[in-house]
Amino acid sequence: MPKINSPTELEDLRREILSKRDPNKPCITLCSGTACHATGSEKVAVAIEKELEKQSLKDDVDVRRTGCHGFCERGPIVVIYPEEICYLNVTPEDVSEIISETIKEKKIIDRLLYTDPNTGEKVVYEYEIPFYKEQTRIVFGPNKNIDPKSIDDYIAIGGYSALSKALFDMTPEQVLEEVKRSNLRGRGGGGFPTGRKWETTRNAPGEPKYVIVNCDEGDPGAYMDRSLMEGNFHSVIEGLIIGAYAIGSHEGLIYVRQEYPLAVENVNIAIKRAEGYGLLGNNILGSGFDFTVKVHRGAGAFVSGESSALMTAIEGKVGEPRPKYIHTSESGVWDKPSDLNNVETWANIPLIINKGSEWFTSIGTERSKGTKIFSLVGKVNNTGLVEVPMGTTIREIIYKIGGGIPGGKKFKALQTGGPSGGCISEEYLDTPVDFDELAKLGSIMGSGGMIVMDEDTCMVDVARYFVDFLCDESCGKCVPCREGLKRVRKILNGIVAGEGKEGDIELLEEIGNVMSKASLCALGKTAANPILSTIRYFRDEYDAHIEEKRCPALVCKDLISYYIDPERCNACRLCLKNCPADAIDGEKKLIHIIDQSKCIKCGTCFDVCPPKFSAVKKISGAPVPPPIPEEKRVLVKDKKAKGGKK
Amino acid sequence: MDVEKIDEIIDGYVDEEGVLIQILLDIQRELNWVPKEAIMEMSRRLQIPISQIYRVASFYTAMSLTPMGRHLVQVCLGTACHVRGAPKILNKVENTLKIKAGETTEDMIFTLRTVNCLGCCAMGPVMVVDEDYHGKMKTSDVNGILERYE
């Protein structure tokens, strides 16, 4: 790989790459992000390559494994260029048909297309699918066009031109000013102005200065950063080098969770390629600016995503936070000035440099500029990654892009911001999403996790879920977080077990408030959000658990019983055979009965009972009806006769 | 245990600072756990007290201080999986294997762990055995999947 020694050589290389590419040559792209990979995209890719070989089309069609497209619900995703025909849920069995019909004959295969769940209409092109159409993908967009393992793909779409512009046409001060003017705020959740953070590190005394990429994405239900790391890491590297130039740093540190093996792999490959072209190392593009990076794998600790904890983890120690009366931007890794930004923040930088702060500030709300990538998951039809301008309403995200709630169920809550965030109820669906608006509702935008919950979700159970999570992940250094969480967990465990008592809610609120005020780091300070926000919007559910010993959503194990409706039971023995506790009595043509004393409430019977019977019911807050008398248990097939039993 | 393997890993990090976690991760990957002997060898070579290495190794979830089973079963308890019924799946796996999360079966075939999010929320609830992802899990799927591994 020859080094690129000047901006002109970079442009020459770009022209050379493009000249070798025929935009009209068919290209089959395959989403190869973690989710599609898990559903078998690699098998599809191999099948495509084999089939092309078999049909002697190997030289006429390109195959490209790209990063995550974001429509994870319908993977593996195949998009055929130049038309952008989009096939979903593709299996290896579909491949020969795709090649012979679509590639050779230009015919569309209907069954692999997106079908609008509301109108039943088929959609042929990727850009017309509502999930994509309603998004503004400026940061995440290139993911679907490039092979993350190929730096040439990134250069072909204009990659590293912002770096070249910053190094040759701008002084470090001008770069810093541009980023400050863009009002870019940290995408990791804190929302601190990026330019100001850079400036602090730049002005802090001490050498060397470090710039850090935080990819310790730990919020459950959030995977935006992973998709950028896996799918388009060059955009992050480019942003990082520009930041280093503005700050005056020559060493970069990339912290990535080892739970993301594909991200670790693609990050390392991207760095090697960038080094090969001389985009990392000494005298970048002949500018005289030197910059190197090192990768640190995180070893699995949620709290290590906090900036000061992450920096101690980089030093090879236990990743615990420290009080921040001295900012890490002044004294961080090895006590040197260290600027840490989130993956998505870095990926925004090349765009701001290329298109200018004015363009950037034209997107978004008054105090939150640009777009944000959200991970839209849970009880929603179109699970996936969604990039929208700041200020888009929750309703637009869930219903227009997400396609609403599956199974005709009713929306109950949206959980945002991970374990530090809160739950927002239905009446606030029209709230515009940005840093400040969600905070007003007692939640946070956070790093971008959005978990949709429907009527079958118990909000007390959700609060307990987050408290459980935080209890395990609290490092234990400060008392309010360590002890507060333990007490809260005990109270919530009591409530979901039917042992809640009057005064519990007030006690939860009191402990929550102390934790928010007195904890050492953001983990403890925000740990009360899931509790306080669920109390604020769903107090009736807490009351039902405490006063009536009833779980309205039929979730809390100790408050529900399983019961077989004799009117609906078809005596098929499915539940009986699957019951791990031998708690179901019955035989062929003999209506089944659950022995409540043996039932361990695992829910297997509920799951296996065929939907056309739906005989297994959950009951909460009311006694289980007594078993029907023996003489009435013999199943009568005739429906009329069955009705007569009443 | 092969001390040479440990030395080889440590040799890859000569003269670098803050490498303790990286070395432990490599040992975990190589041996599938971090035995006492490995920690002692690290302590000798790196001149770091054993207590300090233990503190780091016990803090992070990626390192196991006990031997792991042949197959690692991970049940995702991320929020998306949770609201789609992951606790029921975990319960079922625990009942089937007769161990709790974090434990290994007596015959050393399975180690069961929970994870906080695998980022495959579209497939939730998710269970992963070694490298195989099983999505949209139902309690009734558990036995059939586990029977495939021995």
CA of B62 to nearest chain A CA: how many angstroms apart? 5
A-chain CB neighbours of B63 within 8 Å are: 299
In the block, which residue shows the tokens 């290209």?
A27
Q: Say whether residue B119 is in contact with chain A using an 8 A CB cutoff.
A: yes
In chain A, the percentage of residues whose pLDDT exceeds 90 is 82
Per-residue pLDDT at A284 exceeds 90: yes
> CB–CB of A317 and B60 under 8 A?
no
Q: Which residues of B touch A73 (CB under 8 A)?
A: 122
Q: How many CB atoms lie within 10 A of CB A23?
A: 8
Kindly determine whether residue A383 and residue B77, on different chains, have CB atoms separated by under 8 Å. Answer: no
pLDDT(A640) > 60: no
Q: What is the pLDDT of residues A135-170, one digit of tens each?
A: 999 999 999 999 999 999 999 999 999 999 999 999
Q: Give A600's contacts in chain B (Cβ within 8 Å).
A: 95
Closest residue by Cα to residue A238 from A318, A304, A333, A159: A159
DSSP string, A488-513: HHHHHHHHHTT---TTHHHHHHHHHH
Q: A338 phi and psi, to 5 degrees?
A: -135, 125
Question: What is chain B's mean pLDDT, rounded?
Answer: 91
Q: Do B18 and A317 touch (CB under 8 A)?
A: yes
Q: Does residue A389 carry a pLDDT above 70?
A: yes
List, for residues A616-636, the tens digit of each pLDDT value: 999 999 999 998 898 888 887
Phi-psi region of A244 (alpha: psi -120 to 50; beta: other; left: phi over 0): alpha
Q: Is B118 on the interface with A (CB under 8 A)?
A: yes
Where do the domains of chain A lie, and which CATH numbers do they carry? 24-81+85-124 (3.40.30.10), 151-361 (3.40.50.11540), 371-454 (3.10.20.600), 459-547 (1.20.1440.230), 557-644 (3.30.70.20)
Query: Considering only CB atoms, which chain B residues are within 8 Å of A315?
Result: 17-18
Residue of B nearest to A317 (CA): B56
Question: How buried is residue B68: exposed, middle or buried, by Cβ count under 10 Å (0-12/13-18/19+)?
Answer: middle
Q: Does A220 touch chain B (CB under 8 A)?
A: yes
Say what the pLDDT of residue A537 is. 95
Per-residue pLDDT tens digits for A580-619 = 889 999 998 899 999 999 999 988 899 899 999 999 999 9
**Which DSSP category does A183 fall into?**
T
Q: Please name the residues in contact with A122: beta carbons below 8 A apart, sequence gap of 6 or more.
A: A110, A113, A114, A115, A116
Q: Say which amino acid occupies A645.
A: K
Mean pLDDT over A90-105 rounds to: 94
The DSSP string of A343-369 is HHHHHHHHHHHHH-HHHHHTSB-SSSB
Given a cut of 70, whether residue A639 has pLDDT beyond it is no
CA separation for the pair A494, A109 (Å, rounded): 55
**Residue of A296, A315, A377 with shortest CB distance to B121:** A377
pLDDT at A374: 96
The pLDDT value given to residue A319: 87
Q: Is A572 a residue whose pLDDT tops 50?
A: yes
Cβ distance A258 to B62 less than 8 Å, yes or no, reads yes
Q: Which helix (H) or strand (E) holds A187?
A: none
Burial classification of residue B46, based on how many CB atoms lie within 10 Å of its CB (0-12 exposed, 13-18 middle, 19 or more buried):
middle
Contact A57, A192 (CB under 8 A): no
Q: Which of residues 72-91 of B touch A (CB under 8 A)?
A: 77-80, 82-85, 88, 91
What pLDDT score does A644 carry? 40
With a cut of 90, say whether residue A568 has pLDDT above it.
yes
Tell me how crowded residue A94 is: count the other CB atoms within 10 A of its CB.
20
Better-predicted residue by pLDDT, B150 or A170: A170
C-beta atoms of B59 and A607 within 8 A = no
B11 touches chain A (CB under 8 A): no
* pLDDT of A318 strictly over 80: yes
* Cα separation, A160 vs A465, whole angstroms: 43
Q: What tokens appear for A68 in the block? A: 């995550």
pLDDT of A643 higher than 60: no
Q: Which residues pair with A340 in a beta bridge?
A: A212
Closest by CA position to B58, among listed B34, B74, B82: B34
| Whole-number pLDDT of residue A637 | 63
DSSP 8-state assignment for residue A58: T
Cα gap A9→A474, rounded to integer Å: 51
A107 backbone dihedrals φ, ψ, rounded to 5° = -100, 145
B55 touches chain A (CB under 8 A): yes
Q: What is the per-residue pLDDT for A642?
A: 45
What pLDDT was estimated at residue A646? 36
Q: What is the rounded average pLDDT of the residues B8-13?
A: 92
For residue A420, pLDDT over 90 is answered with no
Q: Do B79 and A451 touch (CB under 8 A)?
A: yes
Q: Does residue A119 register a pLDDT over 90? A: no
**In CATH, which superfamily holds the domain spanning B71-147?**
Glutaredoxin (3.40.30.10)
What residue segments make up the domains of chain B, in order of their start? 3-59, 71-147
- pLDDT at residue A641 in the model: 46
CB atoms within 10 A of CB A269: 15
Euclidean distance between CA atoms B80 and A75, whole angstroms: 17
pLDDT value at A324 more than 90: no
pLDDT at A4 over 90: yes
Q: Quote the CA–CA distance of A61 and A54 in Å, as a whole number.
A: 13
Among A391, A392, A397, A390, residue whose Cα is nearest residue A411:
A397
pLDDT of A247 > 50? The answer is: yes
Distance CA B54, CA A463 (A): 33
Q: CB of B71 within 8 Å of any CB in chain A?
A: no
SS3 call for B75: strand
Is there a contact between A38 and B120 if contact means CB atoms under 8 Å apart?
yes
Of A302 and A467, the one with more pLDDT:
A467
For chain A, give the mean pLDDT: 93
Q: Residue A583 class from Cβ within 10 Å (0-12 exposed, 13-18 middle, 19+ buried)? A: buried
Measured CA to CA, the distance from residue A176 to residue A362 in angstroms comes to 19
- The per-residue pLDDT for A189 is 85
What integer pLDDT is reported at residue A128 of this predicted model? Answer: 92
Interface test with B, best of A69, A212, A259 (most B CBs within 10 A): A259
Element (H, E) at A133: helix A130-133
| DSSP annotation of A442 | T
Interface of A with B in 479-538 (CB under 8 A): none
- Chain B residues near residue A383 by CB distance under 8 angstroms: 80, 121-122
What's the mean pLDDT in A420-448?
92
What pLDDT was estimated at residue A302? 84
Residue in the block written with tokens 């039943």: A120
In this structure, which amino acid lies at residue A428?
Y
Q: Which residue has the tokens 């490959």?
A: A269
What does the pLDDT average to over A518-540? 93
Contact present, A328 and A253 (Cβ < 8 Å): no
Q: What is the pLDDT of residue B122?
A: 85
Which residue of A lies nearest to B28 if distances are taken between CA atoms?
A299
Measured between alpha carbons, how far is A449 from A397 in angstroms, rounded to an integer?
12
- Burial readout B17-40 (b: 16 or more C-beta within 10 A, e: otherwise): ebbbbbbbbbbbeebebbbeebbe
> Mean per-residue pLDDT for A518-544?
94
User: What's at A36, amino acid-wise?
Assistant: C
Q: Interior CA angle at A22 toward A18 and A28, to 5°? A: 110
Chain B residue with CA closest to A225: the answer is B119
Four-CA torsion A112, A116, A120, A123, nearest 10 degrees: -50
The whole-number pLDDT of residue A271 equals 97
Please name which of B90, B20, B87 lies closest in space to residue B60, comparing C-alpha atoms: B20
- Which stretch of DSSP H or E encloses residue A388? strand A384-389
Q: Determine the Cα–Cα distance for residues A224 and A234; give it in Å rounded to an integer.
A: 16
Share of chain A above pLDDT 70, in %: 98
pLDDT at A40: 87
Nearest residue, CB atoms, B22 vs list A297, A317, A451: A297
DSSP reduced 3-state for B52: helix
Q: Which residue of B has its CA nearest to A455?
A: B83
| Secondary element (H or E) of residue A115 | strand A114-115
Orientation of helix A504-518 relative to helix A529-547, angle to 10°: 170
Task: Give how far B143 is from chain A: nearest CA, Å.
Answer: 10
Cross-strand bridge partners of residue A591: none
- The answer to whether the CB atoms of A608 and B140 lie below 8 A apart is yes
Q: Exposed, middle or buried: residue B144 (CB in 10 Å: 0-12, 13-18, 19+)?
A: exposed
* CA neighbor of A209 nearest in space, from A341, A312, A336, A346: A336
Q: Write the pLDDT tens digit of every residue in B72-99.
A: 999 999 888 998 889 999 999 999 999 9
Query: A-B interface: how many C-beta pairs under 8 angstroms?
Result: 146
What pLDDT score was predicted for residue A638? 54
